[in-house]
Structures are given as C-alpha cells and as structure tokens.
Amino acid sequence: HLLGGIRRSSEVTTFKQAPSKFSVVGGKFVRVESKDKQDQVTHTGQFFEQDDWRRNRFIDRKKLVNPNWGINLVAEIPPIEVEGRIAVCDGRE
C-alpha cells in the first residue's frame, strides 16, 4: 500500500498548534485569507484571482514584485545609438 503511514486528510480534525490562518473544514485544510489582500501585477501582466490555485505558492510568503520594470527604466534613460555591432557600457555615462 503506497500510503502506508500517511493519514488521510479526513482523519485530521484538531491541531493544537496550527496557525490561526488555517481552518479544518470537512477534514481538509482551508486557508482563511484576509479580504484586503490584493495580488500584485508583475511586469509580464501576471495576476492571479483570489480563487486561483496558483496563489498557493504565496501562502505564508509575500509575493515580491520589483517595481522597477525594465521598460520604465529604458524610458527614463534612453539607450544611446552607436555605429557598428559592438556596444559596451561600464555603468557610467
């Protein structure tokens, strides 16, 4: 039997030290989320709705989104055109 020592979720009923942000309903863990959470949109337009299963990777973690999108940085300091095929930048102007 593959599940040998693993208990089924229907057998789990109480947890003395379980975090308060989880609840057990019908033998399954249910995430209790605050209503004020909003998913941040990334530079690629990635956005997950509240009921999207892909949000699971951010349980107990904050989604880190870099606010400095590359397209905005290029707009602030436009690239310099050069003649030829090789362009080099040492980080200075």
Q: How does pLDDT run across 36-78, given as a tens digit for each residue?
A: 456 677 767 777 788 888 888 878 887 888 877 777 777 787 7
Torsion of CA 74, 80, 83, 87, to 10 degrees: -70
What are the φ/ψ torsions at residue 29 (nearest 5 degrees)? -70, 135
Tokens representing 36 are 């004020």
Q: Looking at residue 53, what is its pLDDT?
A: 85
- Would you place residue 11 in the very low, low, confident or very high pLDDT band (cuts 50, 70, 90)? very low
- Would you place residue 34 in the very low, low, confident or very high pLDDT band (cuts 50, 70, 90)? very low
Q: Give the torsion sign (CA, 62, 40, 53, 12).
A: positive
- Would you place residue 93 in the very low, low, confident or very high pLDDT band (cuts 50, 70, 90)? low
Of the candidates 61, 72, 66, which has an alpha carbon nearest to the alpha carbon of residue 40? 66
Cα 79 to Cα 3: distance, rounded to the nearest angstrom = 59
* 20-40 average pLDDT score: 56
